[in-house]
């Protein structure tokens, strides 16, 4: 074995996963193929940004529809580790017409592309990221989509841990909550080691996430429950509903889920990532008209609206602070950050209100300054609203490196003649 992992990055965006892993150890995590493709867009800004930063193995940077890549390509790629931030979609499935040909998921759902790649490459490790509402969707059948995903990993021979992480609780300047899913093959020595522990031990202390992001030794309000997934994944899709909590582990379809609390939150305030005033161009300061507009947008309101069928109703919205407190971490940045929008960050420094600059938005996610330079300003904001917090991936990468080196060491020892 060589001391490296061959990585494939899907739905790569501007490269947050790769940057985080390479920050952990560039020589250990070797990205052998990356795919970023924005459908129905002529300009591929995110891909161009990715390719400009990661020129090593440039022929392995793919800007094509993932569904058009043949199974045989993944079969010969020798993938050890699959990563990606995939879209939250409808993961319902149905039996094929003959019943014997397995199941069919809806076309265009990108999680099924992840499943296809896993089936054709069998990597030992998988690390995925998504919005935290994934574990509760859809609204009419809570938890169905996440249960379908868990069952898919179960059927492919993986153990799964998940955790919703608020980045600000672990040394970052943004209160960004995202669910991370770590799956690993049951035949690994690491898996055997984990299965020797109770699920409580894994969730509170010794599991993948608990080792990296420590939590208190009791679940919030006692939210800690076990359950078992139905064997039939179609039955899950049609009937199953469950209130998954923000952390959990699944082994052979049996899972434990709980809601942890960060042990010693270590937030970074906004003022730590703000640029000096002398570097802020005048275009980022609010005009009087914009101040008035944001005062309305961020204020409480009740508005009478009319639905498509003519029904009148009152839309109510609570008030929020006129500006973001720079002594606290920033709120979750959305793709609408660069627009005049209620969710847009507004800071006040020395009596003047302004937007965050693209560089400050990059810093909120842990990217290097001017990482997205070269694309239109509106797209710089959009890409950062879509990105993950790089430092979280760095920390997970360090742990995955430890796990894999232990795995390689055990394999070497087992081959030494007695």
Specify whether 88 is catalytic.
Answer: yes
From the CB of residue 297, how many other CB atoms can be counted at a distance below 10 Å? 16
- From the list 168, 152, 169, 170, the residue with the least C-alpha distance to 160 is 152
Q: Which one from 49, 88, 361, 383 is the annotated catalytic residue?
A: 88
CA distance 117 to 12: 15
3-state secondary structure the chain: CCCCEEEEEECCCCCHHHHHHHHHHCCCEEEEEEECCCCCCCCCHHHHHHHHHCCCCHHHEECCCHHHCCHHHHHCCCCCEEEEECCCCCCCEEECCCCCCCEEECCCCHHHHHHHHHHHHCCCEEEEEEEHHHHHCCCCCCCHHHHHHHHHHHHCCEEEEEEEEEHHHECCCECCEEEEEEEEECCCHHHHHHHCCCHHHHHHHHCHHHHHCCECCCCHHHCEEEEECCCCHHHHHHHCCCCCCCEEEEECCEEEEECCCECCCECCCHHHCCCCHHHCCHHHECCHHHHHHHHHHCCCEEEEEECCCCCEEEEEECCCCCCCCCCCCECCCCCCCCCCCCCCCEEEECCEEEECCHHHHHHHCCCCCCCCECECHHHHHHHHHHCCCHHHHHHHHHHHHHHHHHHHHHHHHHHCCC
Catalytic positions, please?
88
């Amino acid at each position: 074995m060589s001391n490296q992992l061959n990585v494939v990055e899907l739905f790569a965006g501007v490269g947050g996963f790769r940057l985080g892993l390479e920050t952990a150890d560039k020589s250990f995590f070797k990205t052998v193929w990356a795919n970023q493709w924005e459908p129905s867009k002529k300009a591929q800004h995110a891909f161009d940004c990715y390719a400009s930063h990661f020129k090593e193995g440039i022929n392995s940077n793919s800007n094509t529809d993932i569904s058009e890549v043949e199974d045989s390509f993944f079969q010969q790629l020798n993938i050890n580790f699959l990563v990606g931030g995939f879209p939250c979609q409808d993961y319902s499935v149905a039996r094929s017409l003959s019943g014997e040909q397995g199941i069919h998921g809806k076309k265009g759902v990108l999680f099924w592309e992840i499943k296809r790649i896993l089936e054709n490459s069998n990597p030992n490790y998988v690390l995925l990221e998504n919005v935290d509402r994934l574990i509760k969707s859809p609204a009419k059948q809570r938890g169905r989509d996440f249960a379908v995903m868990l069952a898919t990993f179960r059927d492919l021979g993986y153990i799964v841990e998940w955790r919703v992480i608020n980045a600000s609780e672990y040394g970052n300047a943004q209160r960004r909550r995202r669910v991370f899913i770590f799956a690993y093959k049951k035949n690994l020595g690491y898996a055997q080691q984990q299965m020797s522990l109770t699920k409580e031990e894994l969730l509170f202390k010794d599991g993948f996430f608990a080792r990296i992001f420590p939590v208190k030794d009791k679940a919030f309000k006692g939210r800690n429950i076990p359950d078992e997934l139905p064997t039939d994944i179609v039955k899950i899709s049609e009937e199953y509903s469950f209130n998954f909590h923000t952390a959990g582990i699944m082994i052979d379809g049996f899972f434990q889920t709980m809601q942890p609390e960060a042990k010693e939150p270590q937030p970074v305030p906004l003022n730590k990532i703000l640029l000096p005033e002398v570097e802020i161009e005048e275009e980022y300061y609010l005009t009087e008209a914009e101040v008035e507009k944001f005062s309305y947008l961020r204020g409480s309101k009740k508005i009478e609206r009319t639905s498509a069928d003519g029904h009148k109703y009152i839309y109510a919205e609570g008030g929020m602070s006129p500006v973001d407190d720079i002594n606290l971490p920033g709120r979750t940045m959305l793709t609408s950050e660069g627009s005049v929008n209620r969710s847009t960050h507004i800071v006040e420094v020395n009596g003047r209100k302004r937007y965050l600059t693209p560089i400050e938005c990059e810093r909120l996610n842990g990217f290097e300054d001017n990482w997205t330079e070269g694309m239109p300003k509106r797209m710089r904001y959009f890409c950062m609203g879509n990105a993950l917090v790089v430092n979280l991936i760095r920390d997970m990468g360090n742990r995955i490196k430890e796990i894999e080196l232990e795995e390689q060491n055990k394999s070497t020892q087992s081959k030494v003649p007695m």
